Amino acid sequence: MNIGVVGVNHNLAPISVREGVSFTDLQKIEAINYLLDKEIEEVVILSTCNRSEIYIQSKDIKEKIKMIEQFYESFFECPDVSNYLFTKSGREAIEHIYNVTSGLDSIVLGEDQILGQVKDAHVFSMQLGSSKKIFNKLFREAITTAKNMKSTTKISQQPLSISYIGVKFLEKRLGELEGKNALVIGVGKMSKLTMKHLEEEKVNTIYVSNRSHGKIKEIQHEYKNIVPIEYKDRYKVLNDVDMVISATASPHMVIKYEEMPKLQKQVYMMDIALPRDIDPKINDIENAEVYDIDDLKKIHDENNERRKELANIGYEMINESIDEFLEWVDSTHIDPTIESLNDKCLEIREDTLEYIFRKLNLDTREKKVIDKMMTSALKRLIREPIINLKQTKDKGKREEYMKLVEELFEL
């Protein structure tokens, strides 16, 4: 099986390494085009706050996997990344794609956000032409299986997103969140979920700041107690809040150590962005505590054991789907034979029609009728052999049939 994956994720690599090999969309385009030029047939890049993974489909998969390992080091100028890279190939790589898509390889077991991220990564590659027949089938099956698994097991029913865990983490530090004030930086999906959870915890005021101030106004009607803050004024409210939660897509720090004011009371800062939004040096400032995504690993949710039980059902569903996918891949080996058979019929059709039209004086309508009848007859002739070839499960017998068809029809 010529499918492989190389990358880093939360299982092996700390956040400092993950943020160093995080792809922007422009970098994805550059990387995909480079890899296609290196005779890799299909490429999908998945880059999130918890993982940076390159999926490939190619001949000489072991050789290409080694090339991807070297690519990570050179592309990001990060020689240490080799200590944290993982590689998988064949069925193991396919299982990884399914597990990631289903949320079974996430920090929060069964979380939903990754499903959309995988779908977006696949669409991105399709638009670039780097996801073709094999990956289109694989990723669509993984996405469909993930949806079916979540619908069947309800594994994602409890709100255990990174945003939710971040809020619960802060609640443990503050004792309770009711009546407290918060500053949320960013208005993306994670920030919106954060605001929703903060409102559920009856936080008093939620100050919201974003580089594009207009985007805050677009969502203001969705929340009861948010107060828009100009991006340049974000430091001014730090002494008015008990907590800060930042989740932007900025490539740079949005809360910097050198710009911090003197804090009059304890402020807890939760950085759920990657690359990180909040300078970790702020931990050295009096009355400031900074936490990031890796700190959330330490939380043991009471529903996690139940999720593990449900995950076992998910693994069974995934294995069934993988078996079907591998059968489909195996059946594609007969595609060249079928294509040759169709080409042979097309050749016979064209030669025969040319002879008939040369011998008979037919009008346009009569020619179309004969053409249609000829095409239909030839399709009927090869229909049963093709169906039987596709339905033959025994690989050895199928190879024998393919060779026989090729010899009989001189393909």
Between CA 107 and CA 114, with CA 113 as vertex, the angle to 5 degrees is: 70
| Residue-level pLDDT, tens digit, the chain, 411 residues | 799 999 999 988 998 899 899 999 999 999 999 999 999 999 999 999 899 999 999 999 999 999 999 999 999 988 889 999 999 999 999 999 999 999 999 887 888 889 999 999 999 999 999 999 999 999 999 999 999 998 888 876 655 678 888 998 999 999 999 999 999 999 988 899 899 999 999 999 999 999 988 888 888 888 888 999 999 999 999 999 999 999 998 989 999 999 999 999 999 999 999 899 999 999 999 999 999 988 886 665 555 677 788 888 889 999 999 999 988 887 777 777 778 788 888 888 888 988 898 888 888 898 899 989 988 888 887 788 777 777 777 777 777 777 777 777 776
Name the phi and psi angles at 170, rounded to 5.
-65, -35
Pairwise CA distance, residues 389 & 337, whole Å:
10
Cβ-contact 21, 78 below 8 angstroms:
yes
Q: Pairing state of beta strands 42-47 and 288-292?
A: unpaired
Annotated binding site for NADP(+): 186-191
With b meaning 16 or more CB within 10 Å and e meaning fewer, what string describes 258-294? eebeeeeeebbbbbbbbbbbbbbebeebeebebbbbe
Cβ-contact 65, 6 below 8 angstroms:
yes
To the query of whether residue 49 is one of the catalytic residues in this protein, the response is yes
Annotated binding site for substrate: 48-51, 106, 111-113, 117
Residues of the chain with CATH 3.30.460.30: 3-158
Check: pTM over 0.75? Answer yes or no. no
Amino acid letter for position 63? E
Q: Which residues neighbour 401 within 8 Å (Cβ) at sequence distance 6 or greater? A: 388, 389, 392
Pairwise CA distance, residues 55 & 104, whole Å:
18
List the CATH code of the domain at 3-158: 3.30.460.30
The pLDDT assigned to 181 comes to 97
Count of Cβ atoms closer than 10 Å to residue 47 Cβ? 22
Strands across the sheet containing 205-209: 226-229, 205-209, 181-185, 243-246, 267-271, 288-292
- Determine the 3-state secondary structure of 173 from DSSP: helix
With b meaning 16 or more CB within 10 Å and e meaning fewer, what string describes 224-253? eebebbeeeebeebbeebbbbbbbbeeeeb
Catalytic option among 5, 8, 40, 49: 49
The pLDDT assigned to 344 comes to 82
The pLDDT assigned to 386 comes to 77
Q: Please give the helix or strand (H or E) that residue 367 lies within, else none.
A: helix 364-391
Would you call the peptide bond into 275 cis, given omega within 30 degrees of 0 as the criterion? yes
The pLDDT assigned to 307 comes to 77
The pLDDT assigned to 298 comes to 66
The pLDDT assigned to 362 comes to 87
Q: Where are the alpha helices (DSSP H) in 223-359?
A: 304-331, 335-359
Residues of the chain with CATH 3.40.50.720: 162-298
The pLDDT assigned to 383 comes to 82
Q: Nearest Cα to 114, choosing from 91, 98, 95?
A: 98
Torsional class of 287: left (φ above 0), alpha (ψ -120 to 50), beta (otherwise): left
- Determine the 3-state secondary structure of 382 from DSSP: helix
Architecture per CATH, 162-298: 3-Layer(aba) Sandwich (3.40)
